[in-house]
Chains A and B, each alone.
Chain A
């Protein structure tokens, strides 16, 4: 579906899907909404074996209207030399990205660009902090 070149900024369709270019997406400021551990990773108390990998999820929202919603799963590899969170799987969103001419990208292309976008965000420290606070004994 081609969008008129006269239009700019995000466009929201009746089903909630927000269309915008990657350039417009990069102008958005995202705020952390919530993060958590996968249920089987929640510490159950003393005496359990230490997991080698911890997985969880995180949700972020854009600060402008229409509100962009981005969520993804993450992995914390405890055994890795450089312990850090990394994205796990495809992000979930209410977005479909447009190409620079404001034509719809395919779902696959949009998904790949969103993955790269998320990987460039500095989200790891925020998520770690929230998870530590939430699951502090």
Chain B
């Protein structure tokens, strides 16, 4: 697996088309999202010249994962489509905050990956790590995402520092929430440390706190 990233101009037309086609297969054909798109290509109003994409490709060059990064100083998904997820908070507008969206790590060559199980696969973790690194290179200190409720615990189990920005809200029958993901330079260097218990606090700090309480 290898990664490519950049704007559409940087990726080129061929790579951009592969990503768009992959997104169509994941979000429209597999997950059944009701979006107004031409057959075979998934794009929306946030696919702009300044949008940054991260894609994972297998040895044969097929796209097996994708992510989209948007600066929050311009319109973005949480801002324009799901502001209710912030429960009345001002929408983040900060050059150090980028939105992560259209994240998928479904390998259509594998028979064992369900759309939800993809989030805990090694490929998904690697793609997220790459996306965070890409965002960091763009100046991000935090990412914000609109995600299904189960994503937060999957992120934490995988060792990412994730925290909800507001309460989950049922949107068209699906519980969604706004999730912060910290861009942690130490974690970027060392890689995420899996934590099956989903702790937010690092293990050493918890151990010290437990000793203090006892």
Please list the residues of chain A having a beta carbon within 8 angstroms of any beta carbon in chain B: 12, 14-17, 33-34, 39, 57, 59, 61, 65-69, 71, 73, 88-90, 92-94, 106-112
Contact = CB atoms under 8 A, between A and B. Distances in A.
Contacts of A106: 201, 205, 209
A56 B152 CA distance: 14
B210 A112 contact: yes
Interface in B71-95: 86-90, 92
Contacts of A68: 167
What band does the interface of chain B fall in when counting residues whose beta carbon is under 8 Å from A? 35 or more
A34 B175 contact: yes
B43 interface: no
Interface in B182-209: 196-202, 205-206, 208-209
Nearest to B87: A67
A12 B88 CA distance: 11
B35 to A, nearest CB: 24
Interface string B160-197: 00011111101000010110100000000000000011
Nearest to B162: A92
Nearest to A70: B167
Contacts of B92: 14-15
A109 to B, nearest CB: 5
B201 A16 contact: no
Given A90-B201, A109-B213, A111-B201, 4 more contacts: A16-B89, A34-B149, A69-B167, A90-B197
A15 B180 contact: yes
Given A39-B116, A112-B213, A89 B166 contact: no
Nearest to B89: A16
Contacts of B198: 73, 89-90, 92
B117 A39 contact: yes
Nearest to B205: A108
Nearest to B90: A14
Nearest to B114: A39
A65 B88 CA distance: 10
A137 B90 CA distance: 43
Nearest to A68: B167
A94 B163 contact: yes
Contacts of B175: 33-34, 59
B76 to A, nearest CB: 16
Closest 3 CB pairs of A and B: A69-B167, A16-B165, A108-B201
A112 B206 contact: yes
B156 interface: yes
Contacts of B163: 17, 92, 94
B111 interface: no
B86 A16 contact: yes
Contacts of B201: 90, 106-108, 110-111
B168 A111 contact: no
A58 B44 CA distance: 33
A92 B199 CA distance: 8
Contacts of A69: 164, 166-168, 177
Contacts of B202: 108
A93 B166 CA distance: 8
Nearest to A111: B201
A89 B197 contact: yes
Contacts of B178: 16
